[in-house]
Amino acid sequence: MYPADVRYTKTHEWARVEGGMVTIGITSYASDELSDIVYVELPNVDDTTQLGGAFATLESVKAVSEVYAPVAGTVKAANLSLQEEPGLINEEPYGKGWIARMEPIDGSSLDHLMDSEEYEKYVEAERGA
């Protein structure tokens, strides 16, 4: 149900390593919970993030939600197409709906994040709560 090539946080972000960079977005579970996303406040290129620090904001018809960094690093790209089409996050959360690409700070890894199987169990438990 959740792509196996990414890692997941308990706050429902995903992270995919691609050529030394980490691409970050929110999970399909998070986008479903938020419903229709109507506005995205993106991070700025060269912003530095701390592990677990808020670096983007999503506004939906239901709520405003922060996006938290699954890795410490420097923002190298923000998905500017989300400014015109924020709904891409709902339509393709693991593809065209990515939020930012970061260069991780030396020593930062994704080892602390869940794999797809662990995340699926986590979501099932959260739904049952």
Give pLDDT, residue 25.
98
Encoded tokens for 65: 């939600």
pTM value? 0.94
Q: What is the pLDDT of residue 129?
A: 63
Supply the DSSP string of 55-116, one letter for each residue: EEEEEESS-EEEEE-SS-EEEEEE-THHHH-TTHHHH-TTTTT--EEEEE-TT--STTSB-H
Nearest-5° angle of CA 54, CA 121, CA 15? 35
Q: What is the pLDDT of residue 128?
A: 82
pLDDT at 17: 93
Q: To which H or E segment does residue 40 belong?
A: strand 37-41
Upper half-sphere CA count for residue 81 (Cβ side, 13 Å): 8
Chunked into runs of 10 residues, the chain (129 residues) has average pLDDT values of 95 94 97 96 97 96 95 97 97 98 87 96 89
User: What local confidence, expressed as pLDDT, does residue 3 receive?
Assistant: 96
